[in-house]
Amino acid sequence: MTKPILPQEVASAVVDPVAYGQWETLHEQLSWARANAPLAVAENHDHDPFWLVTRHADIMAISRDPQRFANGIRPTVLTNRDGEALARAATPNNDGHLIRSLVQMDAPDHMKYRLLTQSWFMPKNLKIVEERIRQIARETVDQMLAQGGACDFARDVAAHYPLRVIMDILGVPPEDESRMLMLTQQLFGPTDPELNRSREAITSAEQAIAMLNYVIADFENYFGALTAERRANPREDIATVIASATINGEQIPDREMSGYYMIVATAGHDTTSASTAGAIMELAKNPALFERFRDAATDKAGLIEEAIRWTTPVQHFMRSAKEDVAIGGQKIREGDWLMLNYVSANRDEDVFGDPFAFNPDREKNQQIAFGFGAHVCLGQHLARMEMRILMEELLPRVKSLALAGEPARVESVFVGGLKRLPIRFEAA
Write down the pLDDT at residue 1. 67
Question: Residue 257 CB: number of other CB atoms within 10 A?
Answer: 20
Model pLDDT for residues 379-397, shown as the tens digit of each residue: 999 999 999 999 999 999 9
Cβ atoms of 396 and 428 within 8 Å: the answer is yes
The CATH homologous superfamily for domain 8-427 is: Cytochrome P450 (1.10.630.10)
Q: How far apart are the first and last CA of the chain?
A: 64
- Indicate whether 197 pLDDT > 90: no
Phi first, then psi, for residue 39 (nearest 5°) are -140, 100
Closest CA to 181 of 236, 219, 226: 219
**Where residue 186 falls among pLDDT bands split at 50, 70, 90?**
confident
Tell me the domain boundaries of the chain. Answer: 8-427
Model pLDDT for residues 250-278, shown as the tens digit of each residue: 999 999 999 999 899 887 778 899 999 99
**Where residue 291 falls among pLDDT bands split at 50, 70, 90?**
very high
Cβ atoms of 403 and 423 within 8 Å: the answer is yes
Phi first, then psi, for residue 418 (nearest 5°) are -85, 130
Closest CA to 352 of 388, 385, 305: 305
**Where residue 99 falls among pLDDT bands split at 50, 70, 90?**
confident
Helices (H), ranges, 204-312: 205-232, 238-244, 254-267, 270-285, 287-294, 301-311
Model pLDDT for residues 207-240, shown as the tens digit of each residue: 777 777 788 888 899 999 999 999 999 999 999 9
CA dist 236 and 268 (Å) reads 18
